[in-house]
Amino acid sequence: MSTEVASKPIKTSEPLFSKKNMRLLSDPLNENNPITVQVLGICSALAVTAQVKPAFIMALAVTFVTAASNVFISLLRNLIPGNIRIIVQLTIVATMVILVDLVLKAYVYDVSKQLSVFVGLIITNCIIMGRLEAFAMGNKPWASFLDGIGNGLGYAAILIIVAIMREILGSGTLLGYQVVPQFMYDAGFANNNLMVVPAGALFAVGIIIWVQRAQNKYYETE
């Protein structure tokens, strides 16, 4: 007996790196940047960017937490009762943050000391909650993962640019190495204290937003 199974047209699943998925990665880097466009996660951007090294570690930590919690929430999205979804989201984010905190303490203790409460405060970072609510609750795990990585990188990009500006102008160093030559100090140059305090970061972020909007021809509409 020969059974001819009519070959049904297979539902073509989307390729892993389709154009749409890549946009999830690239959008948050510029047009939909979490810091400069959505203006989220500002507190940590102001607090940890006095030097490049802690800013880099912080950026890594946030990228990891965003991506991982996006994936988990996306997997659970159909099981989470709507009424208590925020609590579930927080539990997962908190778990991820504790993981990150322990890893930092184990491997880069000095930076962990420098970041102090700001690692713990990743839990309250609006970018993460925002992505969980806006994206992971309604999309598949892979797309959610890419979205998390993209937003983390968008956050990281701004953090590192701000940190580079602040560390060079405020301390004359980059990653701890002297970059402003000694002869400039001898000639009367002085480090800019304003860049060491968080107010300097506010100016730096503001200038980045200004440049970015001028580039993207973005205008405020009534």
Binding site for another protein (CB under 8 A): 188-190, 192-195, 197, 199, 203, 206, 210
Residue 25 beta carbon to another protein: minimum distance, rounded to whole angstroms: 32
Tokens of 108: 């880069």
Which run of H or of E encompasses 178? strand 177-178
Residue 142 or residue 203: which is nearer to another protein going by CB? 203
Burial grade of 188 (CB within 10 A; 0-12, 13-18, 19 or more): exposed
Residue 220 beta carbon to another protein: minimum distance, rounded to whole angstroms: 12
Residue 197 beta carbon to another protein: minimum distance, rounded to whole angstroms: 7
Distance from CA of residue 24 to its chain's centroid? 14
CA-wise closest residue to 73 among 94, 56, 88, 95: 88
3-state secondary structure at position 174: strand
Residue 47 beta carbon to another protein: minimum distance, rounded to whole angstroms: 18
Residue 43 beta carbon to another protein: minimum distance, rounded to whole angstroms: 21
Residue 84 or residue 199: which is nearer to another protein going by CB? 199
Residue 124 or residue 192: which is nearer to another protein going by CB? 192
Residue 32 or residue 192: which is nearer to another protein going by CB? 192
3-state secondary structure at position 173: strand
Residue 26 or residue 192: which is nearer to another protein going by CB? 192
Backbone angles phi, psi at 104, to 5 degrees: -60, -45
| Cα–Cα distance, 106 to 102 (Å, whole number) | 6
